[in-house]
Amino acid sequence: MEANCLFCKIIEKQIPAKIEYEDEKVMVFHDIHPKAPVHLLIIPKKHIPTMMDVAEEDLELIAYIHKIAQTMYHKMELQGMRLINNCGEKGGQEIFHLHYHLWGWKE
């Protein structure tokens, strides 16, 4: 965990979040500034700053995140979704802890 990372603090329960799902590898919680009817953030509990920092040993974790996105799609009874990863400052990343935005629609 990184001491100054907002998402690491959420993982450690130092900052509250509306958690939708959690296990030993990932956490899923609602974005505080939603951009879609359903806007979840899916984060690994391992601190990885950006997609470009994903190492060979992290590839299974990335696949797992995609599986969790499928799980959330069904749990939230969505009819469509976008799974978004912003990478780097120029790519729109604001928090440097790897995360995916799941934007979902029910109708």
CATH, residue 25: 3.30.428.10
33 CA to centre of own chain: 14
1 in a structural domain: no
Main-chain phi, psi angles of 40, to 5 degrees: -110, 150
23 in a structural domain: yes
- Structural domain including 84 reads 6-105
25 in a structural domain: yes
91 in a structural domain: yes
Kindly name the residue from 33, 66, 74, 99 that is annotated as catalytic.
99
- State how far the alpha carbon of 41 is from the alpha carbons of 12, 57, 83, 84, in Å: 16, 22, 10, 10
- Note down pLDDT in tens along the chain; length 107 residues: 788 999 999 999 999 999 999 999 999 999 999 999 999 999 999 999 999 999 999 999 999 999 999 999 999 999 999 999 999 999 999 999 999 999 999 97
The C-alpha angle 18, 65, 82, rounded to 5 degrees, equals: 75
Q: How many domains does the chain have?
A: 1
38 in a structural domain: yes
Catalytic, 97? Answer no
